[in-house]
């Protein structure tokens, strides 16, 4: 391949996230329903002779081995049986998915790197093999090689694709602060040890076009994070006040999303604007749409 390859990995939200006790290996078993949304980064891979390169002008984004894209490159290079360091490609990352938000931006970029580098380097790794490699990079990286709507078990890497949900509007709110994944899970463990409730008191049902009826939104990490950052509950309430059919924190936060009918989402996004909130308008994606953006 001689031309640049442009991929647009999509973010996700967790429609449900139930978290089990902390395991001996430090992880938690989860039961989560993940959903692709239209918010995406841009990953451009350009073949060129010389050492592997990674560049991003986005503030706070590392362009070294600490970035999951670089780690994905090293992992795939070795899986292809090649010696030394990865080379002969330059990757440009343009961030649009907020970091430390629970939207999976870094994981989505890593998945895009696996797909794109496999093509640029002329590899013949199957999607199944790429998914196995993705699981070594992070618990939710494999999801982005499926996309659409999927049930995640284990650490989240054990995936079961399910029927696409109906096309729905989504408004994402990212506050001025971020939340680390380890922080959120640590707060959950601490609150449980103290006997504090983690299950939301308000039951939220969301019709997604499934014959089996509505799904029940819920995130076990939301209450512990909101105890430390009350703005989480404020953002959820703001979405509901603007007509959201349901609203919740995504993943470990700090982003909150509201689900709307597409016809009302734009107006809600305009009304939710605040100086200390980044408000983003998007929608749900089907599995086919998410795969196409990732070059699959």
Continuous segment of H or E residues that includes residue 280: strand 277-283
Q: How far apart are CA 150 and CA 94, in angstroms?
A: 26
Domain count of the fold of the chain: 2
51 inside domain: yes
pLDDT in tens, 19-71: 999 998 888 999 999 999 999 999 999 999 999 999 999 888 999 999 999 99
Of 244, 276, 224, 278, whose CA–CA distance to 17 is shortest? 224
Answer whether residue 201 shows pLDDT above 80: no
Please state, rounded to an integer, the average pLDDT across all residues of the chain.
Answer: 95
Tell me the percentage of the chain whose pLDDT exceeds 70.
Answer: 99
193 and 232 co-located in one domain = yes
Answer whether residue 134 shows pLDDT above 90: yes
295 inside domain: no
Query: What integer pLDDT is reported at residue 109 of this predicted model?
Result: 98
The pTM assigned to this predicted structure is 0.94
Catalytic: which of 140, 164, 191, 220? 140
236 and 127 co-located in one domain = no
143 and 178 co-located in one domain = no
Contact at 8 Å (CB) between 122 and 3?
A: no
CA distances for 243 relative to 174, 246, 269, angstroms? 19, 9, 11
Final residue of a structural domain among 117, 136, 163: 163
Q: Domain of 74: which CATH number?
A: 3.30.230.10
Final residue of a structural domain among 116, 146, 163: 163
19 and 121 co-located in one domain = yes
173 inside domain: yes
pLDDT, mean of residues 221-249: 97
Tell me the percentage of the chain whose pLDDT exceeds 90.
Answer: 90
Query: What integer pLDDT is reported at residue 26 of this predicted model?
Result: 86
19 and 102 co-located in one domain = yes
197 and 258 co-located in one domain = yes
Q: Domain of 207: which CATH number?
A: 3.30.70.890
81 and 189 co-located in one domain = no
252 and 279 co-located in one domain = yes
289 inside domain: no
Query: What integer pLDDT is reported at residue 203 of this predicted model?
Result: 80
293 inside domain: no
What tokens appear for 80 in the block?
């292809």
270 and 215 co-located in one domain = yes
48 inside domain: yes
37 and 71 co-located in one domain = yes
Answer whether residue 1 shows pLDDT above 70: no
174 and 157 co-located in one domain = no
220 and 236 co-located in one domain = yes
- Dihedral pair phi/psi, residue 102, rounded to 5°: 80, 20
Of 60, 50, 46, 53, whose CA–CA distance to 7 is shortest? 46
Is 64 one of the annotated active-site residues of the chain? no
Is 174 one of the annotated active-site residues of the chain? no
Query: In terms of C-beta density within 10 A (0-12 exposed, 13-18 middle, 19 or more buried), how is residue 4 classed?
Result: middle
Q: How far apart are CA 289 and CA 296, in angstroms?
A: 10
pLDDT in tens, 244-273: 999 999 999 999 999 999 999 999 999 999
267 inside domain: yes
Final residue of a structural domain among 113, 134, 163: 163
Can you give the residue range of the structural domain that contains 30? 5-163
290 inside domain: no
């Amino acid at each position: 391949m001689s031309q640049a390859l442009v991929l647009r990995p999509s973010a996700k939200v967790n429609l449900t996230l139930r978290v089990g006790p902390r395991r001996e290996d430090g992880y938690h078993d989860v039961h989560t329903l993940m959903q692709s949304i239209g918010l995406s980064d841009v990953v451009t891979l350009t073949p060129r002779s010389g050492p592997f390169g990674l560049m991003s002008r986005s503030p706070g984004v590392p362009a070294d081995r600490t970035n999951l894209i670089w780690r994905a490159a090293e992992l795939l290079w070795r899986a292809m049986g090649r010696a030394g360091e990865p080379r002969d490609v330059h990757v440009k990352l343009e961030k649009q998915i907020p970091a430390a938000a629970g939207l999976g931006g870094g994981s989505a970029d890593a998945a895009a790197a696996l797909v794109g580098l496999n093509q640029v380097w002329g590899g013949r790794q199957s999607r199944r093999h790429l998914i196995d490699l993705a699981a070594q990079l992070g618990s939710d990286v494999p999801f982005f090689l499926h996309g659409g709507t999927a049930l995640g078990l284990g650490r989240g890497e054990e995936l079961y694709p399910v029927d696409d949900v109906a096309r729905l509007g989504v408004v994402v709110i990212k506050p001025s602060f971020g939340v680390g994944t380890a922080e959120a899970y640590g707060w959950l463990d601490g609150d449980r040890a103290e006997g504090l409730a983690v299950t939301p008191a308000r039951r939220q049902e969301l019709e997604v076009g499934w014959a089996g009826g509505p799904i029940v939104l819920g995130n076990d990490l939301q209450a512990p994070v909101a105890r430390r950052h009350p703005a989480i509950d404020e953002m959820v309430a703001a979405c509901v006040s603007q007509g959201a059919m349901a609203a919740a924190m995504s993943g470990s936060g700090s982003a909150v999303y509201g689900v709307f009918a597409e016809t009302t989402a734009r107006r809600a996004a305009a009304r939710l604007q605040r100086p200390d909130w980044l408000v983003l308008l998007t929608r749900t994606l089907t599995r086919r749409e998410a795969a196409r953006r990732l070059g699959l």
